Amino acid sequence: MRKVSLDELAPGMKLAKDVILDDGRFLLLKGFTIKKRYIDKIRLYNIPYLYVEDEIGKYEHFSEEVVYTETFQTIKNVMESVRQGDTIHLPVLKETVDGIVQKILNDDNVFMKLTGIRDIDNYTYLHSVDVCIYSVIAGKSLNLTDSEVKELGMGAILHDIGKCKVPLCILNKPARLTKSEYETIKKHTQYGYEIVLSTPGVNPAVANIALHHHEHWNGTGYPSGKSGHKIDLFSRIVAIADVYDALTANRVYRKRFMPHEAAEYIIANAAQYFDPDLLQVFLDNIAVYPADIIVLLNTGEIARVVEAKGEASIRPKVMVITRKDGPPVLDPYEIDLTENPSVNIVDIIS
């Protein structure tokens, strides 16, 4: 741990001590990774110095954030140019997706803490990046070849590209869609298929993902109503990642589900919508609540998630470090949420 002045503070550093205001309120908690907007906030409160973790691994998390942000920008550029009638500029996108795939092939926990950081305005782009990350993690654990995982990643990031042909007033409508608006939205699968297929150098398997990611395991999906293994493997993977990620984002028409609620939703609907074997792979490999994120419990306690992966992370062990209102916790203590069914995570703080 070392003391740094506000001028020395840089994005990517990790707080080693809580930042407490003069009136006793917590501004930022130990374990937070500094982002530019936090520095601006700290400056407002005239805080002269803070404690950050030592050099080793200091920028590890930050480099993932850079890759994530660059990927977001790339898919945003692709979607905006397609919306204006241009074609997909494949080389840049391919390099970006291959970079994500390579990072995940080396370590599939690498992006876990970054997914789920989304705002409403950028929802479509960030959702595309998250679906790509989740799909690649699932593809890796299914022992697909590297080139198959790269195709899956490309198809996953482009799965909703057809939405570029859907009017924004329908896509961003802050209310329930009419039947005819919903029929228009559904066309994004066919539009996406045509856009991807007309891109030189793209494998048709990538276009199939755009076409079939809304098919359901029981045949009630669209556009073709295919069922079971008649739906291609990549589309079955992306279908799970798509629904899980969409539920955990705030939308213009509803508040987000907490990750455990989204996981419980997809488990409850597994038999109708999803390939049960793939769903198990998905749940075994994602961290519903990744280690080290800070959460608010329904008891008012603020806690850090202790290492957890797979289905166990739906109700992880947490270490209580402070309280929303009231004095700080001097001796942090652990709560195992599986053994305490009345204690729930109600918000993610960081």
DSSP designation for 250: -
Coil, strand or helix at 252: coil
Please say which residue, 212 or 304, places its beta carbon nearer to Fe ion.
Answer: 212
C-beta of 197: minimal distance to Fe ion in Å? 16
CB environment 50-64: b (16+ within 10 A), e (fewer): bebbeeeeebebbeb
C-beta of 163: minimal distance to Fe ion in Å? 7
Please say which residue, 20 or 205, places its beta carbon nearer to Fe ion.
Answer: 205
d(CA 129, CA 133): 6
Please say which residue, 160 or 232, places its beta carbon nearer to Fe ion.
Answer: 160
User: Within positions 206 to 225, which residues make up the interface with Fe ion, using CB under 5 A?
Assistant: none
C-beta of 36: minimal distance to Fe ion in Å? 32
Task: Determine, following the binding rule CB under 5 A, whether residue 130 of this chain makes contact with Fe ion.
Answer: no
d(CA 5, CA 195): 51
CA-wise closest residue to 31 among 348, 294, 333, 287: 294
To which residue do tokens 């926990």 refer? Answer: 109
Q: Which stretch binds Fe ion (CB under 5 A): 25-33, 103-111, 159-167, 299-307?
A: 159-167
Please say which residue, 213 or 315, places its beta carbon nearer to Fe ion.
Answer: 213
Site string for Fe ion, 15-44 (x = CB under 5 A): ------------------------------
Please say which residue, 47 or 161, places its beta carbon nearer to Fe ion.
Answer: 161
E-strand stretches of the chain: 2-5, 19-20, 26-28, 49-52, 294-297, 301-305, 317-323, 333-336, 345-348
CA angle 338, 342, 346 (to 5 degrees): 90
Size of interface with Fe ion, in residues (CB under 5 A): 1
Task: Determine, following the binding rule CB under 5 A, whether residue 160 of this chain makes contact with Fe ion.
Answer: yes
C-beta of 202: minimal distance to Fe ion in Å? 18
Please say which residue, 62 or 123, places its beta carbon nearer to Fe ion.
Answer: 123
d(CA 70, CA 64): 10
Please say which residue, 154 or 343, places its beta carbon nearer to Fe ion.
Answer: 154
CA angle 230, 125, 262 (to 5 degrees): 60
d(CA 322, CA 304): 10
DSSP designation for 23: T
Q: Which stretch binds Fe ion (CB under 5 A): 16-24, 55-63, 160-168, 308-316?
A: 160-168
Q: Which stretch binds Fe ion (CB under 5 A): 117-125, 138-146, 156-164, 326-334?
A: 156-164
Which residue has the CB atom at the shortest distance from Fe ion? 160
Helix H or strand E segment including 73: helix 60-83
User: Would you give the end-to-end CA distance of the chain in angstroms?
Assistant: 21
User: Within positions 276 to 295, which residues make up the interface with Fe ion, using CB under 5 A?
Assistant: none
User: Within positions 65 to 84, which residues make up the interface with Fe ion, using CB under 5 A?
Assistant: none
Q: Which stretch binds Fe ion (CB under 5 A): 46-54, 157-165, 197-205, 335-343?
A: 157-165
C-beta of 212: minimal distance to Fe ion in Å? 10
C-beta of 188: minimal distance to Fe ion in Å? 6
C-beta of 185: minimal distance to Fe ion in Å? 8
Q: Which stretch binds Fe ion (CB under 5 A): 131-139, 152-160, 176-184, 247-255?
A: 152-160
C-beta of 214: minimal distance to Fe ion in Å? 6
Please say which residue, 15 or 156, places its beta carbon nearer to Fe ion.
Answer: 156
d(CA 4, CA 242): 41
C-beta of 213: minimal distance to Fe ion in Å? 6
DSSP designation for 323: E
CA 345 to chain centre: 18
The widest CA-to-CA distance across the chain, in whole angstroms, is: 63
Please say which residue, 199 or 344, places its beta carbon nearer to Fe ion.
Answer: 199
- Write out the residues near Fe ion by the rule CB under 5 A: 160
